[in-house]
Amino acid sequence: EMSEMSERSKQNVAHGLAWSYYTGYLKLVLPWMKKSMEEFSRANPNLPACRKTWKLHILVPLSCDVYDDLEKADSNIQYVTDLTETTLARGGIKRRVYKHSLYAITDEENQLWHCAVEYATPLQTLYAMSQDECAAFSREERLEQAKLFYRTLEEILKGSKECADAYRLIAYEEPEEAETHFLSREIVWHLRQEHHEIAVPERGHPHTPSTALDSAELNLQISLSDLPQPLRTDGF
């Protein structure tokens, strides 16, 4: 009965995607993140280095609208290079390659900020499901799933010693009217916060941009007893 309730409400979709994303990707690559950034910094001493930003910045658009090319999403985001590859044997694939891209973000004062940034790719699955009649996923359900994905992933990562201080989740809801440089401003806001942070938990930072979402806004009216088990729910 519990399984049928979860399937009808589709609560198991985002939960499973978050755990798959963590165990199949983030848990593998995040422990190497700072080393990759350090190697890049040594090889490029001309670029400003801020160790507090040496982490993977993970974009979580609640619309699930993911661009394959960040430069097309915002012209103030420019690809620089790829960081050092991580090679692992995984699922029968020899020497499977994992890598991250470094970008230069231009702010409103034409200052450049460098960081590794990418989308949370499971959101593409949620978007595709909302476009497929077989999945019967409404736009409202997709939004709820995106929020649940974010909250679940945040809680998983908070409990992961391997991934500590190697990531930053950037959840946002795009404005109704298109803004040319909305995404670059959102990323730069987080980079500025990292520059000024003292060692405090991520959830301790006030998020003040007009488009910001705090954890209260991301909470869903779902009883914990209705969620697939085991579930660890809960970013800045």
DSSP result, 147-203: HHHHHHHHHHHHT-STTTTSEEEEEE---SS--TTHHHHHHHHHHHHHHH--S--GG
Is 83 in contact with 97 (CB distance < 8 Å)?
Answer: no
Predicted confidence (pLDDT) per residue in 117-170, tens digit: 999 999 999 998 888 776 667 888 889 999 999 999 999 999 999 999 999 999
Predicted confidence (pLDDT) per residue in 42-71, tens digit: 888 777 667 888 999 999 999 999 999 999
Distances (CA, A) of 202 to 17, 18, 189, 199: 22, 19, 14, 9
Q: How confident is the model at residue 9 (pLDDT cuts 50, 70, 90)?
A: low
Average of per-residue pLDDT across 78-101: 85
For residue 2, pLDDT beyond 70: no
Instruction: Report which residue type is found at 30.
Output: L
With a pLDDT cut of 70, the percent of the chain lying above it is 77
Under DSSP, is residue 29 helix (H, G, I), strand (E, B) or coil? helix
**What residue ranges define each of the domains in the chain, with the CATH number in brackets?**
30-195 (3.40.50.12100)
> What pLDDT shows up at residue 230?
38
With a pLDDT cut of 90, the percent of the chain lying above it is 50
What is the model's pTM? 0.80
Q: How far is C-alpha 109 from the chain's CA centre?
A: 26
Q: How confident is the model at residue 217 (pLDDT cuts 50, 70, 90)?
A: low
Q: Tokens 């809801």 correspond to what residue?
A: 173
Instruction: Report which residue type is found at 51.
Output: R
Higher-pLDDT residue of 224, 187: 187
Q: Which two tokens stand for residue 161?
A: 């010693």
Predicted confidence (pLDDT) per residue in 170-197, tens digit: 999 988 887 889 999 999 999 999 988 7
Q: Which two tokens stand for residue 108?
A: 């409103």
Q: Tokens 């891209």 correspond to what residue?
A: 101
> What pLDDT shows up at residue 208?
46
Average pLDDT, the chain: 80
| Residue 25 DSSP code | I
> What pLDDT shows up at residue 218?
59
Q: Which two tokens stand for residue 196?
A: 């000024």
Predicted confidence (pLDDT) per residue in 193-215, tens digit: 998 875 444 443 334 454 445 55
Is 17 in contact with 124 (CB distance < 8 Å)?
Answer: no
CB atoms within 10 A of CB 230: 7
The total number of residues shown for the chain amounts to 236
